[in-house]
Structure 1
Amino acid sequence: MSESSPDPEATRALALAGELRVVVGRLKRRLREQSHLGDLSWTQVRVLSRLEKEGPATVTALARAEGIRPQSMGETVAALKAAGFVTGAPDPDDGRQTVLSLTPACQEAIMTGRAAREDWLFREIRAKLAPAEQAQLASAVGLLKRLVDT
């Protein structure tokens, strides 16, 4: 019985997966540094993002979407309210619940932070990559989209 040698393509793909995970993590941290939303927890950032993308929601709906207990989400929302990022209004369908939405100040902060991150990335691309490398990066972005699109 002979031992099978490792598949070189699988070995390369595994190494690439590890490098990509590390590089994407570093890129996310660098982009986060450019944002100006303060010292928000990961859960708080996800709640703001969900409210921005999906619109107003109740604490219960947010908790279900994030896979956490409503009590924990209530604490998260209370902190976001105290910071002036979210506001609540009675649910028109169920007056016992509150529908949460982003405040105009939060929406502005999100847009400002997004613009700052894109500006930083634009400047880094222009400063550090030659035109041919920029074209390679554009191709790589297309490949990354294929990896994450379902």
Structure 2
Amino acid sequence: MASRTKDANGDDDIALALSLAGELRVLGGKLKRRMREEANLGDLTFSQTRVLILLEREGPATVTALARAEGVRPQSMGETVASLKTAGLVSGEPDPVDGRQTVLSLTAACRKALKANRAAREDWLFRAIRAKLAPAEQKKLATGVELIRRLLDT
């Protein structure tokens, strides 16, 4: 836990907030890496994973729309999408408005894998909470989670 030490201006609250910000950043990164270890969608690159997340959250999209959302060239996104198609994770249908374009969406197999992946991560976290934290500590964690939610909702 962060220690309450005075900063150069003698303001403990600022020093505490700075310390907490650093600790949360580090812990957030560790949690993200640990959750990634529990997930297994194969050997997907960061870009491929981002495309799957975008399609899951935002729904079907064209290569151009995906490229714009990720800030990359459409040619680069085309390569990423092609590999996802080859892996059977993404499929395409002609755009009903502009038949020259293809609207991409997740395959049923991909949706199933994403769901299983999410369940595996939550199961690991559930087991870790139950094994490492006493009931009173779990209640404290619930309070902490609510505070983090408030931070992220700003």
TM-score band, normalised by the shorter chain?
over 0.9
Counterpart-to-counterpart distance in 2, 1:74 and 1:7? 52
Alignment correspondent of 1:7: 11
Match of 2:25 among 18, 21, 28: 21
Distance in 1 between residues matched to 2:71 and 2:108, nearest whole Å: 27
Q: 1:147 aligns with which of 129, 133, 151?
A: 151
TM-score by length of 1: 0.93
Question: Could you tell me how far apart the structure 2 residues matched to 1:131 and 1:109 are?
Answer: 32
Q: SS in structure 2 opposite 1:15? A: helix
* Greater relative contact order, per chain length (Cα 8 Å cut-off, separation 6+): 1
Between the aligned residues of both structures, percent identity stands at 69
| CA drift at 1:28 | 0.7
Given candidates 75, 78, 91, the residue that maps to 2:79 is 75
Q: Kindly report structure 1 stretches of 4+ aligned residues shifted beyond 6 Å.
A: none
Extract unaligned runs of 5+ from structure 2: 1-7
Question: Could you tell me how far 1:54 is from its partner in structure 2?
Answer: 1.3
Find the aligned partners of 1:6 and 1:51 in 2 and give their Cα distance. 49
2:98 maps to 1:87 = no
Aligned positions of 1:40-55 closer than 5 A = 40-55=44-59
Shift of 1:49: 0.9
**What TM-score comes out, normalization by structure 2 length?**
0.91
Q: Number of residue pairs matched?
A: 147
Distance, in Å, in 1 between the alignment partners of 2:102 and 2:130 is 46
The one of 52, 62, 68 aligned to 1:64: 68
